[in-house]
Structure 1
Amino acid sequence: MSKTRNVLFLQSSSELYGSGKIIFQVLRIYREEGFNPVVVLTGEGPLADLLVQDGFTVCIQNLGILRRKYVNFKGLINRFDKKLKAYKFLDKLHQKYDFELVYSNTLAVIVGSYWAQKNNLPHIWHIHEILFGPKPLVKLLRAMLDKGTPEPIVVSEAVKKHWGGMLKNSKPEVIHNGIPYQEYLMPDSKTKSDLNIPVDKLVITMIGRINPGKGQLFFLAMAKEILKTYPQCHFLLVGDPFPGYESIHEEIKSVIREGDFSGHVTDLGFRKDIPTILSATDIFVLPSILPDSFPTVILEAMASALPVVATRSGGAEEMVSEGETGYLIPIEDVEMGKIALEKLILNDQLRESMGEAAREKVLREYSFEQFSEKIRNHLWRQVKRN
């Protein structure tokens, strides 16, 4: 009987936003290649439920995820204690499964790199972030990448440019995110009335986790300007706050409540039915105000045949073809955002042609088949390296 080939996967959260959706596909690819993924998550949540439902082995353990707020004396002590406990937990898990490979998804998971080095195991780091600070954190991550991960995966050319210039030994490989698009090509029908939006409204949607970088308040600032002239528009917000950023959500709710939007803005919170929400959308907006590495939600919007208005921040510049599949606007430039949206609001044919071009591009350049092949090739190189 052949030995089970176990791979340890470490995931920074149990949420089903971009990185969670991508790691789910990676796990399936590894399983198809004959490996047995064992996934460690920091807590319960939608991703944990999905993985268990799909037959994966899931363990819950605080991994001491490193966030900006912990880069101080007290915070680092807190993280050290959590990482020490996580380290011991992984030792016990290794005794049971005898892992062949360690896979850390996002740079927030740093315990896997240390642990893999100690146990002489190959380590894969899947990098979704562009970080400019704090400087001590960036310096630490750069050193860890150079020491323990020969070929980290980066999700865009923007991410490669950012980290590649700092690294001496590691050689990042760009593997653009790709997901199965069937449910976006043929979504379940959901009319605007199902979302309590009048059917004659033109729906402009933003989907994203609430945090300092996603730009929900910028989105609302554009909405306020647009509604002065185009009351036929309705703005839709989808997403809940990342733990610790609930105050931003309260500010968003306050702006909606006090901004005289007169029922023209709906905050749906976290939703699982993204394909059907996008089917009720006319224009998609991602107004990130901090570098966004390669937003999966833009892929979903493109596959849904929607024109995209996004800020020039990270991977969006690679994804959106200016004037062909949408528009790229400067960060926090309300006037330029208004101009881009006006062009689409006033021209039904432009929305349709850009949406179709977006769908063609996502299926041509960011297909799941391309993503899957690259992940497979990368996997086997790491195994053969050892």
Structure 2
Amino acid sequence: MSKSRNVLFLQSSSELYGSGKIIHQVLRIYREEGFTPVVVLTGKGDLAELLKADGFIIRIQNLGILRRKYVTISGLINRFKKNKTAYKFLDQLHQEFAFELVYSNTLAVFIGAYWASKNRLPHTWHIHEILHGPKPLIQFLSYLLDRSTKYPIAVSEAVKNHWKSKLEKSKIEVIHNGIPYESYLQEDLSSKEELGLPVEKLIVSMIGRINPGKGQLFFLEMAQAILRTYPHVHFVLVGDPFPGYESIQVEIQSVISREKLQNSITDLGFRKDIPKVLAATDIFVLPSILPDSFPTVILEAMASGLPVVATRSGGAEEMVTEGETGFLIPIGDIEEGKLAIQKLIESEALRKEMGSNGRKKVLQEYSFEQFKEKIKNHLWQTISGN
């Protein structure tokens, strides 16, 4: 066995959203187990700053991240060139650190699987995605997964069920996300005022990266339907656009302006102080319109003692217990969404009961301690090759 104890981590972005928060915890766990993580990020950002402050070795390199928009002839040529450069970069990094293991976070990073296979190194692929197309992309990722990774990690049963039928050799293990929840358990009575939100109003919040799947525009449609009857409710959006989807943010602002909703809807943009935002919230909504694997923000909302309204779009169905910790609604169904939120608006007792149930569930079923133990076991299983 190699004495280097160095592990190469490849991360698809440097943003501090769900996958970034999870990889931060994985890095800490590996370090506690005696390994030295070396993290390659595709660019600068909040995650890079956080990891540097936490003492991790960081390198910046374009990894040729694979997105849907690149599944064209010109796009694939572009990705081939970027991955060829990234491959050489990893060769140089390997000469410096002599890696014992390669860890790719999200399927968008595929150079690590190929590079690890060529260098006969064990590879871990942490799968956060449910992808339904394009078909060539699915076939390529399935092929590479099956030939590079003995024990991939899936963040939910929904993710596992989506990929397992496409694999012949790889044995997927489900490890539900878990994070330290301490900062979400504290009550912050000053949070509304500090965020510039109306103290006297009931707050309905949505937190998520702006992209075609998160459903911000669906959220606005539900908000408009509710505000006609409940003017004492205020809606909050949190999140900035994924590069290439700035047009969605423009459309969000256009809807708010056109419908004269400036006094009823606040767009806070990207925030690092998510515990404070959730402390100011009465009802949390995640209206994803495409499969959402296992949204970390739902764990954060449940830990904050909030009832959750989410679409039946993947991992949320495992997280939210219908009628006990919140409500699950059909994707894009404005009327069902309005009715679910309406029940919570009208009953403070129901909000508190569901919020309390949600907090108990997240601390019991998705605790950081459970996540940590499973990641440790997976690490040593991968290293041993058993």
Q: Same fold (TM over 0.5)?
A: yes
| CA distance in structure 2 between the partners assigned to 1:111 and 1:366 by the alignment | 31
2:279 equivalent in structure 1: 279
| CA distance in structure 2 between the partners assigned to 1:249 and 1:86 by the alignment | 31
Change (3 A) 1:92 1:262: closer
Q: Deviations over 1:327-381 (max 9, x none)?
A: 0000000000000011000000000000000000000000000000000000000
Q: How does 1:211-222 map to 2 (within 5 A)?
A: 211-222=211-222
TM-score normalized by structure 2? 0.99
- The residue identity in structure 1 corresponding to 2:149 is T
Contact 1:278 / 1:301 at 8 angstroms: preserved in 2? yes
- The residue identity in structure 1 corresponding to 2:90 is L
Q: Deviations over 1:244-284 (max 9, x none)?
A: 00001100110111112251000000000000110000000
Q: Deviations over 1:158-214 (max 9, x none)?
A: 000000111111110000000000000125553312222221100000000000000
2:194 equivalent in structure 1: 194
1:28 equivalent in structure 2: 28
- The residue identity in structure 2 corresponding to 1:284 is F
1:383 equivalent in structure 2: 383
Q: Say if 2:367 is the partner of 1:367.
A: yes
- The residue identity in structure 1 corresponding to 2:23 is I
- The residue identity in structure 1 corresponding to 2:157 is E
Q: How does 1:141-220 map to 2 (within 5 A)?
A: 141-186=141-186, 189-220=189-220
Moved more, 126-135 or 3-12: 3-12
Q: State the secondary structure of the residue aligned to 1:7.
A: strand
| CA distance in structure 2 between the partners assigned to 1:242 and 1:380 by the alignment | 35
Change (3 A) 1:221 1:90: same
Contact 1:191 / 1:199 at 8 angstroms: preserved in 2? no
Q: How does 1:105-124 map to 2 (within 5 A)?
A: 105-124=105-124
2:19 equivalent in structure 1: 19
Q: State the secondary structure of the residue aligned to 2:141.
A: helix
| CA distance in structure 2 between the partners assigned to 1:226 and 1:99 by the alignment | 55
Q: State the secondary structure of the residue aligned to 2:228.
A: helix
Q: Deviations over 1:67-117 (max 9, x none)?
A: 000000000000000000000000000000000000000000000011001
Moved more, 50-59 or 190-199: 190-199
2:79 equivalent in structure 1: 79
1:290 equivalent in structure 2: 290
Q: Deviations over 1:26-51 (max 9, x none)?
A: 00000000000000000000000000
Q: State the secondary structure of the residue aligned to 1:235.
A: strand
Change (3 A) 1:106 1:187: farther
Q: State the secondary structure of the residue aligned to 1:104.
A: strand
1:240 equivalent in structure 2: 240
2:89 equivalent in structure 1: 89
| CA distance in structure 1 between the partners assigned to 2:345 and 2:95 by the alignment | 60
Contact 1:187 / 1:275 at 8 angstroms: preserved in 2? no
Structure 1 residues not aligned, in runs of 5+ = none
2:302 equivalent in structure 1: 302
Cα drift, residue 236 of structure 1: 0.2
- The residue identity in structure 1 corresponding to 2:139 is K
Cα drift, residue 119 of structure 1: 0.4
- The residue identity in structure 2 corresponding to 1:109 is V
2:332 equivalent in structure 1: 332
1:350 equivalent in structure 2: 350
| CA distance in structure 2 between the partners assigned to 1:117 and 1:252 by the alignment | 44
- The residue identity in structure 1 corresponding to 2:326 is G
- The residue identity in structure 2 corresponding to 1:333 is D
Moved more, 96-105 or 181-190: 181-190
Contact 1:190 / 1:277 at 8 angstroms: preserved in 2? no
1:52 equivalent in structure 2: 52
- The residue identity in structure 2 corresponding to 1:108 is A
Percent identity over paired residues: 71
Structure 2 residues not aligned, in runs of 5+ = none
Q: Deviations over 1:128-181 (max 9, x none)?
A: 000000000000000001111011000000000000111111110000000000
